[in-house]
Amino acid sequence: MDLLYVVFPVSGVKTWVFLPPLVAFIVSFFTSMGGVSGAFLLLPFQVSILGFTSPSVSPTNLVYNIVGIPSGVYRYIREGRMAWPLTWTVIVGTLPGVFIGAIIRIKYLPDPRAFKFFVGFVLLYIGGRLLYELSGRVTSKKAKIRALDEKFKQRADKIKVEQKARIASGLPPEAVVKTVRFSFTRYQYEFYGETFSFNTIGLLVLAFVVGIIGGTYGIGGGAIIAPFLIAVFHLPVYTIAGAALMGTFLTSIVGVIFYTLIAPLYADTGLSIAPDWPLGILFGIGGFAGMYCGARFQKFVPQKFIKFVLGMVITFLAFRYLVQYFL
């Protein structure tokens, strides 16, 4: 039985070898439906359950993104739900912030207690934003989003009836993202008969700030920018999920490279900076399967349910970390 337990070299974590991929699969299955890789939930798991608290937990989380995200992105691209101008805007804005975030993590938040406090605030925002989206005051202003939910529900019900409850991946021709206009100042696209648009410069500024937070936390930024795209820019989760995942994937690659390159500079401090590759890859394997399944099932799950589940879990974790700081 001991053969199933592994001690990972960088983190010092000893755990059942199947636990990381199992946890990652469950987490990523649900979070990928909202355009989030699940790294924001796996980091608390590593810190609180596995006892992995050194700065290297952040790039290890990014390794998970690199391995796990491509399957989810593939599904969104295949189904025509990848808004490419949105994707590249997020990437261009996020990348510079990732470098700044990595330095902040190493230089100012090496202490596990302080880092948990920071994580608590980030999670509180994400969870609170998602739950706020469920309030009547907000939903009453979003007729387009409600209309999309109803169209997807009707489509899912029709598929189940026609194919005797067997889930299919087919979507009608209009359920793909079609760019109408893209410039330095505005992006406009159509999806399922509805038109959506947002200010490109505003998103670039937001993405830069998100990159700093994501680079510090070790999540790539998708968990933060996805709620913003839904809540502030009023874009449907069906169209932003793929873009958020792709942005997280590319920024995670850059983040891991940066953490690895600067690790030798902090060798004399005793801090563990470089990622724990074996542990990150194990998490990534579970995430790869979970994100593929989550992206495939997303169109059959109401946005309200996705937001509620994610919001409750995230808010609970946030309060737990914030309270622990003062105990």
Spatial contact of 238 and 189, defined as CB atoms under 8 Å apart: no
155 pLDDT exceeds 70? no
Residues 288 and 282: their CA atoms lie apart, in Å, by 10
Tokens representing 61 are 């989380």
- Average pLDDT of 34-56? 85
Q: What CA–CA distances, in Å, run from 125 to 26, 35, 122, 128, 199?
A: 23, 16, 5, 5, 23
Q: 139-143, 164-168, 234-238, 255-259 — which one is most confidently predicted on average?
A: 255-259
- The continuous run of DSSP H or E covering 250 comes out as helix 237-262
295 against 111, higher pLDDT: 111
Give the pLDDT score at 165.
Answer: 43
- Average pLDDT of 123-132? 81
- Average pLDDT of 29-48? 83
How long, in residues, is the chain?
327
**What pTM was estimated for this model as a whole?**
0.79
Q: 74-78, 158-162, 229-233, 282-286 — which one is most confidently predicted on average?
A: 282-286
| Helices 237-262 & 303-326 angle (0-180, nearest 10) | 40
Range with the poorest average pLDDT among 66-70, 144-148, 190-194, 218-222: 144-148
84 pLDDT exceeds 80? yes
171 against 153, higher pLDDT: 153
304 against 64, higher pLDDT: 64
208 pLDDT exceeds 90? yes
185 against 301, higher pLDDT: 185
Give the pLDDT score at 146.
Answer: 64
Residues 50 and 107: their CA atoms lie apart, in Å, by 23
What is the percent of the chain where pLDDT is above 90? 23
Q: Dihedral of the CA atoms 37, 27, 143, 246 (nearest 10)?
A: 10
Domain boundaries, the chain: 10-107+122-326
167 pLDDT exceeds 50? no
Give the pLDDT score at 2.
Answer: 61
Range with the poorest average pLDDT among 103-112, 123-132, 248-257, 300-309: 300-309
Beta pairing class for 5-7 and 14-16: antiparallel
301 pLDDT exceeds 80? no
